[in-house]
Structure 1
Amino acid sequence: MTVVQKTDYLNVEMFSRFAPRPGRRDLLPPLTPKAQVALMCRMLFAEGWDDHIAGHITVRQPDGTIFTNPWELAWDEVTASDIVTLDGDGQVLDSDWNVTPALGLHLQLHAARDDIHVVIHNHPKWSGIWANLQETPPIYDQAGAYCGVELPIYNEYLGTLDSDDCSQNAIESLGAGKWALLAHHGALVVARDLRQAHLRAATLEWRCRRAYEVRLAGGAEPLPDDVVEQVSLPDPNGFPFLWEAMARRELRRDPTVLD
């Protein structure tokens, strides 16, 4: 048995230095690509990306199609069979579910950057506080430092993200970045694969929560930027085995996510 269950859309190169150990169990059962996306919805809901039916995840496939969650369902009830396939223009190919018109930002991001295969947007509680404050949250601990220092704020609120002009402005503000706070709105995370996206989304919400808790407690000295860079994970794909652990947690909670 292998230590890591290899799948098409979870980058496993980072595990090459971890030698397989005979007798070890696989970390996950075989997962279809749509099951991976459904699990991602559940995992991020548990991390606080949970504003009712708001928010959307898109995952570009090798053939250029895009998987996304349906508009009608909250992230904690999505199953594999609910995941919708879109073409590059956002037309639904295989589902009776609807998709939000705010997917325009996602489609433009996928088109603008070859390195982006996952785009996540929602209105999490803690990052939403800092988005409303239009401030960048300081970093106070190791878990908040996993993804580095830079966190841009897109502060030109032009309404909902179903406007092409608004979406284009947001893309330009993000630049080559990995995430952003959307002023008076929410948070945006982009990544090359699900594992990297999960770490970024979880780290962003943790960082924002801790920063607000420290502020409420009276404040403290944040970690210097050079220390954050030393603490941040050296592999851009993230924390070894974390994605699998959080996926197993969701499978224990509700195995029907794979249906």
Structure 2
Amino acid sequence: MLQDKLNQDLLARFTPKPGRHALLPELTPQQTLALLCRVLFREGYNDHIAGHITVRQDDGTYLANPWELTWGEVSASDIVRLDQQGKVIEGEWNITPAINLHMDRHAARSDVHVVIHNHPQWGSVWSAAGRIPPVYDQTSALVDSDPVLYDEYRGTVEDTELGRAVVDALGPNKWALLANHGVLVVANGIRQAHLRAITLEWRSRLAWHVEALGGGSPLPDHVVLATGKRTDGNGFPFLWEAMAREEIRRDPCVLE
């Protein structure tokens, strides 16, 4: 009950005052996903054309970024729509052969509306090392749990059996490091997905630098838990909107 009250107080404190301009223009689901791709690309989710994001829609279909384009060039009109088997039913591009990883994850958990898979630089360093990065600062604690370490690499995840093994390894958790491969993040919506994805890469980058200096003092577990519980439920207040606005200013064509 106390934690719920803290969460309500935090959200109330950061609610815009009446009469202020909207934090973002009204966006279509396609525009929102294109913005997420662009924002995460700048955060390090930039392994060429690798990686994919799926977003469950109310009608049971899924939106996804196309296979042929980098996350840094995707615009709203490039987003494709998939059926429940992962087949393209709307759009001009193709979808990754590894889409089964996403479809299986969505099918296994009704709470998952967004699935992100990529090979970001710093998360991939720790996945290759087979280690979980410690939490060395407040920003690294914005999500209140450690990622799962799936420590067996047996091939690429377009193989149905191998993709399902990754899904099983994630279980009910929020995110995972895939040994010798990359990362997997799931969320209840775009704002939470954004927070989890950038927190994992920030945490991985900072921990690498701290340990390169010989190590440091990680935050106590109870501090990490308390920090994450105040922010991870629906994303840190205003953070997604700020990053999306920055991307729109940088290239308004993302909305086309």
TM interval, short-chain normalised? over 0.9
Q: Does 1:181 align with 2:177?
A: yes
CA distance, structure 1, for counterparts of residue 133 and residue 97 of structure 2:
30
Identity %: 57
Specify which of 242, 246, 250 is matched with residue 245 of structure 1.
Answer: 242
Match in the other structure for 2:164: 168
Which letter maps to 1:254? Answer: D
Match in the other structure for 2:111: 115
Match in the other structure for 1:59: 55
Please list the CA deviations of residues 136-189 of structure 1 after superposition, one character each: whole Å capped at 9, or x if unmatched: 111100000110132111112121110111111111111100000000000010
Please list the CA deviations of residues 13-45 of structure 1 after superposition, one character each: whole Å capped at 9, or x if unmatched: x95665552331111111111000000000100
Question: CA offset at residue 221 of structure 1?
Answer: 1.6
Q: Does 1:258 align with 2:245?
A: no
Match in the other structure for 2:7: none
Whether the 8 Å contact between 1:149 and 1:229 is mirrored in structure 2 is: yes
Which letter maps to 2:163? Answer: S
Specify which of 50, 56, 80 is matched with residue 84 of structure 1.
Answer: 80
Question: CA offset at residue 99 of structure 1?
Answer: 0.7
Match in the other structure for 2:64: 68
CA distance, structure 2, for counterparts of residue 38 and residue 19 of structure 1:
25
Mean CA deviation greater in 68-77 or 149-158: 149-158
- Is there any run of 5+ residues in structure 2 with no aligned partner, and where? 1-9
Which letter maps to 1:167? Answer: G
CA distance, structure 1, for counterparts of residue 105 and residue 174 of structure 2:
11
CA distance, structure 2, for counterparts of residue 132 and residue 33 of structure 1:
34
Please list the CA deviations of residues 183-226 of structure 1 after superposition, one character each: whole Å capped at 9, or x if unmatched: 00000100010000000000000000010000111111211211
Match in the other structure for 1:143: 139
In the superposition, relative to structure 1, how do residues 17 and 216 fare at CA in structure 2: closer, same or farther (>3 Å)? closer
Aligned residue for 2:63, secondary structure, equals strand
CA distance, structure 2, for counterparts of residue 17 and residue 145 of structure 1:
20
Which letter maps to 1:197? Answer: A
Aligned residue for 1:243, secondary structure, equals helix
CA distance, structure 1, for counterparts of residue 132 and residue 83 of structure 2:
35
- Is there any run of 5+ residues in structure 1 with no aligned partner, and where? 1-13
CA distance, structure 1, for counterparts of residue 43 and residue 23 of structure 2:
21
CA distance, structure 2, for counterparts of residue 108 and residue 42 of structure 1:
25
Match in the other structure for 2:224: 228
The runs of 4+ residues in structure 1 deviating greater than 4 Å are 14-20
Aligned residue for 2:225, secondary structure, equals helix
CA distance, structure 1, for counterparts of residue 58 and residue 36 of structure 2:
18
Match in the other structure for 1:153: 149
Counterparts of 1:12-23 in structure 2, within 5 Å, are 15=11, 20-23=16-19
In the superposition, relative to structure 1, how do residues 217 and 240 fare at CA in structure 2: closer, same or farther (>3 Å)? same
TM-score, length basis structure 1: 0.92
Mean CA deviation greater in 99-108 or 147-156: 147-156
Aligned residue for 2:89, secondary structure, equals coil
Please list the CA deviations of residues 220-239 of structure 1 after superposition, one character each: whole Å capped at 9, or x if unmatched: 12112112112224251120
Which letter maps to 1:222? Answer: P
